[in-house]
Structure 1
Amino acid sequence: MSNKNHQNTLHVHVRWRPLNESEVAGGQIEQQSTAVNTSSLLSISVNSQSLGNGRPWTSPPAFQAVLEPQADNAYVYESIVAPAIPKILEGESCNFFAYGHSGSGKTHTVIGYDYEEDSKVGLCLAASQRLFDSLNSLRANGRETDDDKCRLGVGFSLFELRKNTAFDLLNGRKQCHIREGADGKTHIRGQTELLDGGRVRVQPLAQRACWTFDSLREELKQSLGQRAVGSSTVHNQSSRTHAVLKLEVVNRRLVEARRAVVERESELVPVGKRATDIAIEEQTRGVMKSAEGAWVANPDYRVNQQRIDEALAEKAIYEARVEAAEQHVSTVLSSNEAGRLGGKMVFVDLAGAEYQAEKGAQNVKQRVKQTPQERQEARQINTDLLALKEVIRAWSADEARIPFRLSPLTMVLREHFVGVAGGTSAMIVTVSPAKSQYAATLNSLKYGSLVGTVSS
């Protein structure tokens, strides 16, 4: 374990899912977790007699907790997510990742397949419910204003990444573009709309502001129906994408302020284009080709610098309007006296990757057969996951340069790592206890131990 003085720490937890009916006859992986020396972290040992040598694998001390199969979603929520709610209500941010092979229970953990029963609700909905309960309690106790524009609610955005492309699940699964802006930040841009007067509106990733938990739950259920799944050789409803869901404490003033930024940007587009066109036109007229083919000053035309300056001055006015709108967003965020506005929780349901069996495996059932498309998807998924590990390592070590550009996944998560105050993050490694899944479970535990070791 490294000795670091900073606070950037990602806690890694392991969640064993129960055996399903079809796996009972095949047997269960032998596993145990122990505390090593004086470390507060746990080490995990696993063994499967289905491997030829039968030797156990033991991790270094890397895991904050090991959740046994009988632990339901409500227990997972209270153990891992609930402690972060007070921080969100103080305007801070936190990240939660679910990692594991297909069929290990990632989506069940983060999203859930039952939206009503408390023990089965996914972590994101359980967190939403607790946020609304806390906000309602604050309002009932007179600690929050009744002003409709300042009333706090929860906004959420939901998108998925597949093959280097983002899809906005709150906007009909429309394709979005991932770009790094001049400000050094990553922007997810949606559809481009042509408006009257030559204005161009580039839609940002959609955020849906909700003022009750019931409305958020219904919106989330509808948007999750847009998520792409595929029938893989491991799981007939395998998540072939990374899903990123962000919850944020918002109010109507903040929503309107952000909408105004988009409008001011759309007004700037035609003005900026006109300034560029005028400058190019004047400079083009001011030169000509000589008899030798070289570009020289045109003696018959004098560049109208006043025209260029006037166009640039108009552009500067509109740029100032954009800047003022952006500043207003910052003012709204900072004007919330209790500091609750802008607090974020980010849940990432990482795509499940299938792994080949360890060398020497004798049981052919250990070998995962993949189609060419699955192999291609698995390569991209593994590239993303390795990039995420490197980002976590650099972030935990408080390095000056964090390699967010390694993959689209780490690019879109940049703001969530940079914006985490005090380094509040957690990863849940979901694994199967079935012997038939030993190779995939072992690889998941190895990945989790690497992340836990570098981030602890």
Structure 2
Amino acid sequence: MSARNSQTKLSVYVRWRPPTQSESVDGLIEQQSCAANTGSLLSISVKQNVGNGRPWTSPPAYKAIFRQDDDNATVYSATVAPAIPQVLAGGNCNFFAYGHSGSGKTHTIIGYEFKNERSLGLCLAASRKLFEALESLNQADDELGLGIGFSLFELRKKIAFDLLNGRTECHIRQGSDGKTHIRGQTEVLEGGKVRVRPLSQRACWTFESFREELRHGLGKRAVGSSSVHDQSSRTHAVLRLEIVNRQLMEARDALVDRESELVPVGKRATDVSIEEQTKAVMRSAEGGWIPNPDYRVNQDRIDKAEAEKAEYEARVAAAEEDINAILSSSKTKCLGANMVFVDLAGAEYHQEKGAQAPLAKQTPQERQEGRQINTDLLALKEVIRAWSSNQPRVSFRSSSLTMVLREHFLGGEGGASAMIVTVSPADRQYSATLNSLKYGSLVGVASS
């Protein structure tokens, strides 16, 4: 898959979560950060508190390192707030939380206290600022009618679960247009219409309604027990915010209707052609196929069916053009702009050679889940490295995670992208923290 023409960078941050009381008693990782001699990136050095192991020091890779007492509001101000003007100017932005189980990814991206302003997750804090900006635009021109449409789904293995539609299973497919599509159940409607339900998008016109809808959707997310955390996220959660208006939402609904009308017409045209061609041949004495002298293909019947199909295909094309026209003729550049927040599944890890603290024993299910998660995260790292270095081909099809993020990477010009690596200060989780920092440093160096 071709990469985009203009180079876009991804900034990498580290966030240390506060230690629990028991972790403080057991011992904490020795850590320090320093600026490189040249450039603005930071390196980080960590060492186990127990034993005589050598410290590990990263190359300059991190844009900022957040301390244990930095709250969500501080992280938001540094990582996401600068992207708000870019989105309002039409840019698209991507934000990832990466880290091992129990390191604070979900707290960072989503937050657990929906009404504590300092504890709002990055996605909620960003949506609040967007709604404030959209309200000002709507007051200046009441014809804009801008709001936020959002979709929320989780990935487990190669299946997407639509959290806004009762965790409906969705299939991830690459369409004839080269884009990745997430499609839900196929429904047979009145008159033979067939509708493939797209991934749900819910339009909200106030921050309060969005917060409630998001809370309800997140309640459908699956969690499981890992060796590190009894409420670990064993799936990748993807939240997409898009600036929309009612006209755009109605046009997209119309496109789904036109596509459902096309399905039976297209099938009928195919059936007619097959039926006529089948009648035009017969079995020979030798068992082969020869022209049937007693039947002449009814080309008028075929042409009529094909003409009807072309008519309905034109309706689909017109519906697509309506959407493009709404986006291109909007009075504001922000219509259709996206912010994507990804709460990655808890990264699994292996025992470092010579590590002082042994890892907890994993169950077979945990090991299987861990292998799939690591496959996705490795693919994501390689995609980010290829994307950031503007390589001619980016292997988005390496995993379902990178497939569904394809359009967001390719449409990322004009906006910021960032990864927040969340880590634990607990000495007993040193191996997990070290592996997370190594992953982040590889991404940060590749993106610098």
TM-score range, shorter chain: over 0.9
Alpha-carbon distance in structure 2 between the residues aligned to 1:175 and 1:256 = 24
1:150-179 Cα distance to aligned partner (Å, 9 max, x none): 300011100000011100000001100101
Alpha-carbon distance in structure 1 between the residues aligned to 2:356 and 2:13 = 30
> 1:423: Cα distance to partner?
5.5
Select 1:224's aligned residue among 218, 230, 255: 218
> 1:375: Cα distance to partner?
0.5
SS in 1 for 2:420: strand
The equivalent residue for 1:397 is 389
Identical aligned residues as a percent: 70
The equivalent residue for 1:297 is 291
1:120-269 equivalences under 5 Å are 120-140=119-139, 142=140, 145-147=141-143, 150-269=144-263
Mapped contact 1:132–1:212 kept (Cα < 8 A): yes
Mapped contact 1:234–1:354 kept (Cα < 8 A): no
Alpha-carbon distance in structure 1 between the residues aligned to 2:360 and 2:416 = 36
Alpha-carbon distance in structure 2 between the residues aligned to 1:92 and 1:423 = 5
Give the TM-score, by structure 1 length: 0.96
Alpha-carbon distance in structure 2 between the residues aligned to 1:394 and 1:422 = 18
Alpha-carbon distance in structure 1 between the residues aligned to 2:401 and 2:9 = 20
The equivalent residue for 2:430 is 438
SS in 1 for 2:76: helix
SS in 2 for 1:239: coil
**What letter is aligned with 1:194?**
V
Alpha-carbon distance in structure 1 between the residues aligned to 2:240 and 2:222 = 18
Tell whether 2:369 aligns with 1:377.
yes
> 1:229: Cα distance to partner?
0.3
> 1:116: Cα distance to partner?
0.3
Alpha-carbon distance in structure 1 between the residues aligned to 2:172 and 2:102 = 29
List, as ranges, runs of 4+ consecutive aligned residues in structure 1 with deviation greater than 2 Å.
Answer: 137-140, 361-364
> 1:335: Cα distance to partner?
1.3
SS in 2 for 1:387: helix
1:211-256 Cα distance to aligned partner (Å, 9 max, x none): 0000000000000000000011110110000000001110000000
Mapped contact 1:92–1:342 kept (Cα < 8 A): no
Alpha-carbon distance in structure 2 between the residues aligned to 1:318 and 1:60 = 58
The equivalent residue for 2:81 is 82
Mapped contact 2:28–2:49 kept (Cα < 8 A): no
Mapped contact 1:357–1:368 kept (Cα < 8 A): no
Mapped contact 1:29–1:438 kept (Cα < 8 A): yes
1:25-53 Cα distance to aligned partner (Å, 9 max, x none): 111101111112212111111000435x4
The equivalent residue for 2:23 is 23
Select 2:271's aligned residue among 269, 274, 277: 277
Mapped contact 2:94–2:341 kept (Cα < 8 A): yes
The equivalent residue for 1:310 is 304
**What letter is aligned with 1:339?**
K
> 1:422: Cα distance to partner?
3.4
Distance 1:33 1:183, change over 3 A: same
**What letter is aligned with 2:316?**
V
The equivalent residue for 1:319 is 313
**What letter is aligned with 2:190?**
D
**What letter is aligned with 1:322?**
V
Alpha-carbon distance in structure 2 between the residues aligned to 1:154 and 1:74 = 21
For structure 1, the residue ranges without an aligned partner over 5 or more in a row are none
1:292-322 Cα distance to aligned partner (Å, 9 max, x none): 1111111111111111111111100000000
The equivalent residue for 1:407 is 399
The equivalent residue for 2:417 is 425
Alpha-carbon distance in structure 2 between the residues aligned to 1:310 and 1:399 = 48
Mapped contact 1:98–1:428 kept (Cα < 8 A): yes
The equivalent residue for 1:388 is 380
Alpha-carbon distance in structure 1 between the residues aligned to 2:331 and 2:251 = 18
Tell whether 2:118 aligns with 1:119.
yes
Alpha-carbon distance in structure 1 between the residues aligned to 2:46 and 2:318 = 58
1:386-441 Cα distance to aligned partner (Å, 9 max, x none): 10011111111112211000000000000100111135210000000110110000
**What letter is aligned with 1:383?**
T
Select 2:328's aligned residue among 327, 334, 340: 334
Distance 1:256 1:6, change over 3 A: closer
For structure 2, the residue ranges without an aligned partner over 5 or more in a row are none
Tell whether 2:93 aligns with 1:94.
yes
> 1:75: Cα distance to partner?
0.6
**What letter is aligned with 2:435?**
N
Give the TM-score, by structure 2 length: 0.97
**What letter is aligned with 2:433?**
T
Alpha-carbon distance in structure 1 between the residues aligned to 2:159 and 2:372 = 12
> 1:368: Cα distance to partner?
3.0
1:129-154 Cα distance to aligned partner (Å, 9 max, x none): 000011112334x2xx213xx30001
Mapped contact 2:86–2:415 kept (Cα < 8 A): no
> 1:336: Cα distance to partner?
1.1
Alpha-carbon distance in structure 2 between the residues aligned to 1:378 and 1:231 = 12
Mapped contact 1:287–1:296 kept (Cα < 8 A): yes
> 1:455: Cα distance to partner?
1.2
**What letter is aligned with 2:314?**
A
**What letter is aligned with 2:243?**
V
The equivalent residue for 1:358 is 352
**What letter is aligned with 1:314?**
E
> 1:193: Cα distance to partner?
1.1
SS in 1 for 2:119: coil
**What letter is aligned with 2:436?**
S
SS in 1 for 2:111: coil
Alpha-carbon distance in structure 2 between the residues aligned to 1:347 and 1:91 = 17
SS in 1 for 2:96: strand
Q: Which moved more, 1:18-27 or 1:260-269?
A: 18-27
Tell whether 2:437 aligns with 1:454.
no
Mapped contact 1:151–1:251 kept (Cα < 8 A): yes
RMSD of equivalent CA atoms: 1.2
Distance 1:35 1:254, change over 3 A: same
